[in-house]
Chains A and B, each alone.
Chain A
């Protein structure tokens, strides 16, 4: 199983809803008993995401319409019970993991595609639609949904909105935020509200922009108006090998500094390559070095020019081999290794902890060196999978949680890596979000005043703090209650 590791993490145990308040009974009244789950096993399974923080729901509901979501929220909040939105639960930061007894609203049944506008290149979809299902559905129109997290076969669009998900192709296309035009949301009062829309620059504050990346703390997203992009007419995919990972990192920095923005620039280091090769045998060069998967896309003539430049820079930085995909099958083979990375890690050790942190691209090489030094100091096995083009690191520590003290050691080491990124001018998360995992690290990148401002935003949406409480902002961020007088 992917990622359900770290059983020794401190458990956030939710006591079950005291149904003297009648919440469960009322939820059954709204949804029927088949779509309201209180069995301990369900509560346990739905109490986790793909990350390392376990929790437990009090009651799990599976609404099928916006009205049902609204009714569920009204029932819960009327009783003062928190509501946690959940998509596929592939999140890695604990965003969908309950921190207290709550109604867990699972949106996977709201997976309809309501409308595709091929000319305007937009689609209205249910928040529970699986990311890849959307791209598959619009492929015949020559369109695709650009955000492509490695979890795209399971993660939902609503979850992508929740975390502002990224993916290899977000280098040129931007993260989820650049691909969501509007949404229908259920607010903390159980009202249905539209934010954003197909027209550019809607009047008023950009609430759409606030919802993206808000991890279920501002409302529950029920439908999403997404932007679709043309499938590029031409692609060139290259797998470039280096003897030393720093050479690869330097090549990446130079490509970006040249102003070329490839469609994707993904880097795997030696240990990562080895794990992948043992798992899928994609023909990657096993050894101490690194591979860079570079893809350029666009107009055929421009693609040839950009690809030539990428190769030239790679060679100048010591590339030892460049494999260029000849056709679509070949391209799929080159991507196979990258896409199998998570499976490979899961297979290679009993437990792993994947982190997400991001640095300015000019500091990429230095921070990578530091991350290695930290792993060495803690004597941990480290694998690196990097969205190199945007300086987005995923250091992965693989270990055995059964070993005494190991989990604590892994957490300490990982926090040190995040701090190294922050010290180099980076920030906590590039794409996985804050959730529970990094909540208490927020003061490392924001001042008390900055956090207070974010609390004010949250208050405007959810004054009662019943929407996914305990996530994103650390306890006590609202430090400036007194207005100036």
Chain B
């Protein structure tokens, strides 16, 4: 468990100098030190020093998902604000190597020049590539293109034990060693700092349209739409492809059509609940969101994710819904609450013992985002 506020006097002089040299004032963080390495080697040095001093360390990207997971007190914050380069974009290969601190908006703008997309979350705010990968977040278009983790081809990690490692392969298809990129994606910084990734890209469809439909089931007449969302504001079908194809598909569906992709406004209520259930149970999760009078909700058909926003909720209601989700092989995640009675993750996975050993192997002194991960890892 993270200790009390940093006892800066205990830091070795060299460590203090390192932290001062790399100090980052652009981020408002409550920890004693905030540093921004600009290379992987610097990041590893910082983590080695933090491990030596047993300093609980938090990683900070765009700061959009800091409310996930268990809370903790941190003495050191490592930001990715100086790991901010689009290193190598190969438009003809549809791949890009990008550092963690690059905002999604910047990446999409860069590769948009050649009409490509990394298919990261659509409503990104200030989110960074590293933050999204570390949190394992996917956009709505995963319905067609699969989740983000399928597109992380390579990852560079400053591991909690203070070494720089890379995993995966610099190609779109590989069976070469263990899936380190898979392990890092969704690890919430618990193994180390995700410093860069190589992503597989897709071409943006030549034509797109958003259709407000009466019932999400109407989408069944289209082949692989980009997304089918059912929300508190209505149901929407998102189409993309060849212009003539999109025109033909629009003609086969009833509903109000807008050209382009108009995604829901992100949920920003005080408490955000996220069901992850087998897709066939989506209806029940939606019913629950309606029953608890969620201010807003967004359900992803064919994916099994329902996000709901509420301003207040009884912990008991969460427990019951979570029990249902977990019994069915899913989860209910609660973000942005500061109510200590509400568990953000719920029951840890049955593989927790192996998960613990992985954490131990990569972060032997438990300094990397300690305690925030499922199971308190």
Contact = CB atoms under 8 A, between A and B. Distances in A.
A285 interface: no
A230 B223 contact: yes
A111 B301 CA distance: 31
A460 interface: yes
A209 interface: yes
Nearest to B163: A449
Given A178-B146, A445-B169, A446-B166, A207 B354 contact: yes
A128 interface: no
Contacts of B170: 360, 425-427
A108 interface: no
B280 interface: yes
Interface in A424-472: 425-434, 438, 442, 445-447, 449-450, 452-454, 456-461, 472
Nearest to B48: A484
Interface string B221-260: 0111000000000000000011011011100000000000
Given A305-B245, A457-B361, A483-B364, A198 B304 contact: yes
A343 interface: no
A259 B115 contact: yes
Contacts of B204: 259
A253 B92 contact: yes
B280 A453 contact: no
Contacts of B352: 204
B186 A201 contact: yes
B291 interface: no
Interface string A159-186: 0000111100010001101100000000
A406 B179 CA distance: 36
A301 B244 contact: yes
Interface residues of B, number: 91
B67 interface: no
Interface in A351-385: 358-362
A41 interface: no
A244 B243 CA distance: 34
Interface string B334-364: 0000000000011011111011011011101
A312 interface: no
Interface stretch (A6-14, A51-59, A189-197, A397-405): A189-197
A392 B377 CA distance: 39
B354 A460 contact: yes
Interface in B165-197: 165-167, 169-180, 182-183, 185-187
Interface stretch (B58-66, B262-270, B271-279): B271-279
Given A301-B248, A362-B92, A390 B147 contact: no
B99 to A, nearest CB: 18
Contacts of B360: 460
Interface stretch (A25-33, A81-89, A210-218, A322-330): A210-218
The interface residues of chain A, by DSSP majority, are classed as: loop
Given A205-B187, A427-B174, A472-B177, A453 B165 contact: yes
Contact of A453 (B94, B167, B354): B167
Contacts of A442: 176-177
Contacts of B147: 200-201
Nearest to B361: A456
Contacts of B330: 197, 199
B171 A358 contact: yes
A431 B173 contact: yes
A457 B180 contact: yes
B90 A362 contact: yes
B174 A429 contact: yes
A202 interface: yes
A259 B174 contact: no
A429 B177 CA distance: 9
Residue of A193, A306, A427, A433 ringed by the most chain B CB atoms within 10 A: A427
A429 B175 contact: yes
A390 B138 CA distance: 23
Given A305-B244, A427-B169, A457 B186 contact: no
A259 B94 contact: yes
Nearest to A306: B242
A117 interface: yes
B178 A454 contact: yes
Nearest to A435: B175
Given A203-B331, A203-B374, A204-B352, 8 more contacts: A117-B280, A120-B279, A175-B175, A204-B348, A213-B179, A214-B178, A301-B244, A430-B174
30 contacts: A120-B280, A164-B175, A194-B351, A197-B329, A198-B279, A199-B276, A200-B138, A202-B349, A204-B348, A204-B373, A205-B355, A207-B354, A209-B183, A210-B178, A256-B93, A259-B204, A300-B248, A302-B241, A305-B242, A360-B90, A391-B171, A425-B170, A427-B170, A442-B176, A442-B177, A445-B176, A453-B180, A454-B178, A456-B362, A457-B361
Please give me the 3 A-B residue pairs with the lowest Cβ-Cβ distance, nearest first.
A259-B203, A209-B182, A427-B169
